[in-house]
Amino acid sequence: MLVIGSGPAGQKAAIAAAKLGKRAAVIERRDMIGGVCINTGTIPSKTMREAVLYLTGMTQRELYGQSYRLKDEITVSDLSARTRHVVDREIDVIRNQLSRNRVALLPGIARFISPHELRIDDGTGDDHQVSAEKIVIAVGTKPARPASVAFDGSTIVDSDQILDMDRVPNSMVVVGAGVIGIEYASMFAALGTKVTVVEKRPAMLDFCDREIVEALQYRLRDLAVTFRFGETVKIVEKHESGTLTILESGKRIPADTVLYSAGRQGVTDALDIEAAGVSASDRGRIDVDESFRTSAQHIYAVGDVIGFPALAATSMEQGRRAAYHAFGEPIGTANVDVQPIGIYTIPEISYVGRSEDDLTSENVPFEVGVARYRELARGAILGDSYGMLKLLVHAENRKLLGVHVFGTNATELVHIGQTVMGLDGTVDYLVDAVFNYPTLAESYKVAALDAANKMRAIARVTGDVEVTELPE
C-alpha cells in the first residue's frame, strides 16, 4: 500500500496495513512529517493554548482575583518555546512508530501518472517512480487564500502563519468563526488582544448545541471580543501603521493583525488525480463511499481531504478503516455514529451524539438533564463557575442520545458519555453509577438524576406505574 501524506489519516492507514502483514510506504515532504496536525494545526495550536492558560493565569482568577497573572508581558517566544519542544517530540514519536512497523518513509511530493503508479519529486531533481496494489490519498487541506486579502505572513496571516507572528498584537480581526478562527480568537482574547470576529453566517459553530454556543459567546464578549455576524469581508488592506478590514456593509475595522481563517482547500491540485481516474471538487475535496473508496476501486481517500468533520481523531480512524477494507479485513461498524467533536476554545466545548435541535426536528421525544460545575465540589476547587454538562435522554426508552459539555476538561469528560452511548446504555446506568469525589465526572450522575427526576415527574402525572422511585 502506498499512502500519500503522513498526517493522522495517512499514518494510521500505513501502520494498519503493516500490522496486517502488508508492505506499506508513506510519501511525505521532508519538513512535514506528521502533517498539518503536528506541524501547523492541532499540536501547535493546542500547545499554544496550554501556554496561554498557564502564563495568563486565567483559570486561577476566580480564586485569586481578576488581576491575577503569572507573567505580565507575554511574548511570542514565551508561547513558541513550548510549541517547538512538543512538535519536535511528536515528530520523533511518529518516525519511530513508522520505522518500528517497517513502514518506509519516501521523502517528496507525489503525483499520479497512472491508476497504480506515482512519481515522487524529492526536490533533488531526481524523480523516481513507485507503484502499489492499493493507494491511500491522505493529503489533507491548506488554508484558503483569496486574492482580495493582502497576506504578508506577519500582519495579515492565515492559520499556518499565525505561529510565526513576531509579537502578540494589541488588536486583531479574525475572519471566519469556524473552529480554527474561534479557537485562536479565544486564545488572543485571553492574552489581552482586542479581537473582532467577522463571520458571514448569522451565527457561529452552528453544528453545536445552541445553549453551549451562547455560553461561549457570553464568555468571549466578557474578554472584549466583538462579533460581526452576517457580514462579508470585501477586502483586507495592509497599511504602514496596521491593517484595515473593509466589509461589504461599508464598515472599516482597523487592527494590528488580521487572521484570515475562512475555509480550507483540499491539497489535490498537484496530485494529478485525473491520471488515476479520480476527480476532486473545486474545493479540492474527494468523494468516497462508506468504506472510503474513491471512484477507482483500489484508491482510497481519508482525512480532511474528504471533508467534515475534518478532525485528527476521525482522520486516524478513517485511515485504519480504509486499510482494513483494502485488504479484506473485517472491521466493526457499531460505533461509527458515536464520534466526539472537541473544540479547544477557552473555555472548551465537546459533544457526542445528537443536539436538541436535531432531536426536535426529527420529532424524537427527549428529556434534558443538566449539571453545572458551580454545584460540584470539583468545580469550586478549580474555580470554574460557568462549566456545564447536558445529557439528552430518550423520553421513552431512556437511552442516552447526546452529551454536550462546556468548561474545564470538556474534551476529556465527553468520553464517559460516548462509552455509555456506544454500548447502547440508558440514563439509569449513570444514575446508579458511583463516581470519584470530588471530580467533574460526577456531573454525569447529577445530570442523569436531573433527567430521570423530570421523567419521573411526567410519569407521575400520566400514572405510569413502572417508574422506579429515585432518591431526591
Ligand X SMILES: Cc1cc2nc3c(=O)[nH]c(=O)nc-3n(C[C@H](O)[C@H](O)[C@H](O)COP(=O)(O)OP(=O)(O)OC[C@H]3O[C@@H](n4cnc5c(N)ncnc54)[C@H](O)[C@@H]3O)c2cc1C
Choose the binding region for ligand X from 90-98, 138-146, 277-285, 325-333 (rule: CB under 6 A): 138-146
Nearest to 406 by CA among 216, 181, 204, 182: 216
C-alpha distances (whole Å) from 224 to each of 170, 203, 259, 285 are 12, 18, 17, 36
237 φ/ψ angles, rounded to the nearest 5 degrees: -110, 150
Single-letter residue type at 215: A
Cβ nearer to ligand X, comparing 79 with 305: 305
> Cell numbers of 107, please?
521523502
Query: Rule CB under 6 A: is residue 181 a binding residue for ligand X?
Result: no
Query: Rule CB under 6 A: is residue 4 a binding residue for ligand X?
Result: yes
Residues in Cβ contact with 336 at an 8 Å cutoff, skipping those fewer than 6 apart: none
Q: Which of 24, 74, 175, 180 binds ligand X (CB under 6 A)?
A: 180
Cβ nearer to ligand X, comparing 38 with 446: 38
Query: Rule CB under 6 A: is residue 270 a binding residue for ligand X?
Result: yes
Query: Rule CB under 6 A: is residue 418 a binding residue for ligand X?
Result: no
CB of 271 to ligand X, least distance (A): 5
Judge contact between 452 and 371, C-beta under 8 A.
no
- Residue in the structure block whose three cell numbers are 472584549: 224
Residue 383 half-sphere exposure toward CB, CA atoms < 13 A:
10
3-state secondary structure at position 141: strand
3-state secondary structure at position 298: coil
Query: Rule CB under 6 A: is residue 32 a binding residue for ligand X?
Result: yes
Number of residues that bind ligand X (CB under 6 A): 39
Q: Which of 267, 323, 420, 427 binds ligand X (CB under 6 A)?
A: 267
Judge contact between 440 and 379, C-beta under 8 A.
yes
Q: Which of 7, 169, 353, 369 binds ligand X (CB under 6 A)?
A: 7
CA pair distance 62, 379, nearest whole angstrom: 11
Choose the binding region for ligand X from 135-143, 185-193, 280-288, 462-470 (rule: CB under 6 A): 135-143
CA pair distance 108, 112, nearest whole angstrom: 13
Query: Rule CB under 6 A: is residue 313 a binding residue for ligand X?
Result: yes
**One character per residue 382-401, x = contact with ligand X (rule: CB under 6 A):** --------------------
Choose the binding region for ligand X from 35-43, 69-77, 357-365, 415-423 (rule: CB under 6 A): 35-43
Cβ nearer to ligand X, comparing 337 with 464: 337
Residue 185 half-sphere exposure toward CB, CA atoms < 13 A:
30
Q: Which of 1, 14, 25, 35 binds ligand X (CB under 6 A)?
A: 35
Cβ nearer to ligand X, comparing 112 with 386: 112
Query: Rule CB under 6 A: is residue 266 a binding residue for ligand X?
Result: no
CA pair distance 217, 13, nearest whole angstrom: 38
Binding stretches for ligand X (CB under 6 A) = 4-10, 27-29, 32, 35-37, 41-42, 45-46, 109-110, 138-141, 159, 180, 267, 270-271, 303-305, 310-313, 315, 342, 344
